[in-house]
Amino acid sequence: MIDFDLIIDTVVIIIVIIGLFFFFTATIGLLRFPDFYCKLQATGKGDTLGAILILFGIVIYILKEDFSFNTILVSLKIFFIIFFIFLANPTATHALTKAGLDSGVTPFKKEDLKK
Amino acid sequence: MIRLYDDLIIQTVCRIMIPLIQLFALYVIAHGHYSPGGGFQGGCILGASFILMLIAYDINWMKRRFSEDINILMIAFGVLLYAVIGLICVLLGAEYLNYGIIHKIIPLDPVRVRALGTLGIEIGVGITVMAVMVSIFLNLTTFGKHEKGEV
């Protein structure tokens, strides 16, 4: 006999932990990377994927608890948030990077490492 | 002013996002008395969508869609809606903004009329907040000149 509740719970926990891992690496990158562009790259990618994975885990968990019209509406709203983050976060990173390049922030080079 | 160059990625994403943001703002205004939100918050989101339009595109592009005259008209119209609904209640013999009394005019249940009155007030607040936000942003970023210029 297979306990479906246990399997779905395990899947949710794994997804949320992977999302938290991406948040963690993004924060480490923000603190440890040497210059503006590297930090932006770390947070832009890590935050997007981490938030999407955690929200997706929440959707699965809600639908497992109570599969009715109301929870389907709630999960639809969470999917809209995922769509919004998926579009807006990389675009904001792109805008920041371009603004930085235009205002003359110099990128980090290999020669700077030897100093 | 703000913009020095066109950026295809930002403009395309803004074209997709702005209608969704405005729809969400209307949702926040309309659900103000059932869930978190209301006239001020929805008006701020609606104003933010126009400010995003202004940042991503151009001041002239935005003025063609939402001109200065309509902006000033909307500021006055929202306050007028608020005041008129309040004054109708006074004329019908209740306190200012006591919407329940409007059921003398509209043939509906008093409880439902009260909810509709709240919705009318919040629409008025939302319109005014949206127009004032856009007006403040325009005046601050262009130093009151309302025309395109360098930074």
Which pLDDT band, with edges at 50, 70 and 90, does B149 fall under?
low
Cα(A114)–Cα(A105) distance, integer angstroms? 20
Query: Per residue in A89-108, pLDDT tens?
Result: 999 999 899 888 888 888 88
Which pLDDT band, with edges at 50, 70 and 90, does B1 fall under?
very low
Nearest to B78 by CA among B135, B6, B149: B135
Which pLDDT band, with edges at 50, 70 and 90, does A11 fall under?
very high
Query: Per residue in B90-148, pLDDT tens?
Result: 988 888 888 888 888 888 888 888 888 888 899 999 999 999 999 998 888 888 777 77
A77 contacts chain B (CB < 8 A): no
Cα(B112)–Cα(B93) distance, integer angstroms? 19
Q: How far, CA to CA in Å, does B46 sit from each of A61, A89, B27, B60?
A: 32, 20, 11, 19
At B117 the pLDDT is 86
Average pLDDT of every residue of chain B: 85
Domain residue extents for chain B: 8-141
pLDDT > 70 in chain A, percent: 99
What residues contact A56, with CB distance under 8 A and at least 6 apart? A15, A82
Residues of B in contact with A95 (CB under 8 A): 7, 10
Contact A53, A22 (CB under 8 A): yes
Q: Reply yes or no on whether the pLDDT at B2 is more than 50.
A: no
The answer to whether B17 contacts A84, with C-beta atoms less than 8 Å apart, is yes
Contact B49, B16 (CB under 8 A): no
A–B interface: beta-carbon pairs under 8 A:
18
CA distance B16 to chain A (A): 9
Cα(A12)–Cα(A15) distance, integer angstroms? 5
SS3 state of residue B38: coil
Q: Residue B143 phi/psi, 5° resolution?
A: 55, 35
Q: Reply yes or no on whether the pLDDT at B3 is more than 60.
A: no
The amino acid at B95: E
The answer to whether B10 contacts A87, with C-beta atoms less than 8 Å apart, is no
Contact B127, B77 (CB under 8 A): yes
B-interface mutation test, from A76, A80, A87, A103, most B Cβ less than 10 A away: A87
The answer to whether B7 contacts A95, with C-beta atoms less than 8 Å apart, is yes
Which pLDDT band, with edges at 50, 70 and 90, does B4 fall under?
low
Least confident range of A31-40, A57-66, B4-13, B21-30? B4-13
Q: Residue A82 phi/psi, 5° resolution?
A: -60, -45
Give A78: exposed, middle or buried? Use CB within 10 Å, 0-12, 13-18, 19+. middle
CA distance B78 to chain A (A): 30
Nearest to B146 by CA among B78, B66, B73: B66
Q: Reply yes or no on whether the pLDDT at A57 is more than 60.
A: yes
At B150 the pLDDT is 56
Report the interhelical angle of B68-91 vs B110-141 (nearest 10°). Answer: 150
The 3-class SS string of B99-128 reads: HHHHHHCCCCCHHHHHHHHHHHHHHHHHHH
Least confident range of A49-53, A67-71, A80-84, B1-5? B1-5
- The complex scores an ipTM of 0.74
Q: In the block, which residue shows the tokens 């949710």?
A: A12
Q: What value does the mean pLDDT take over residues A33-59?
A: 91
Which pLDDT band, with edges at 50, 70 and 90, does B46 fall under?
very high
**Alpha-helical runs (H) found in A1-115:** 4-32, 36-65, 69-102, 110-114
Q: In the block, which residue shows the tokens 């997007």?
A: A48
pTM: 0.81
Q: How far, CA to CA in Å, does A47 sit from each of A43, A71, B115, B139?
A: 6, 26, 41, 35
At B34 the pLDDT is 76
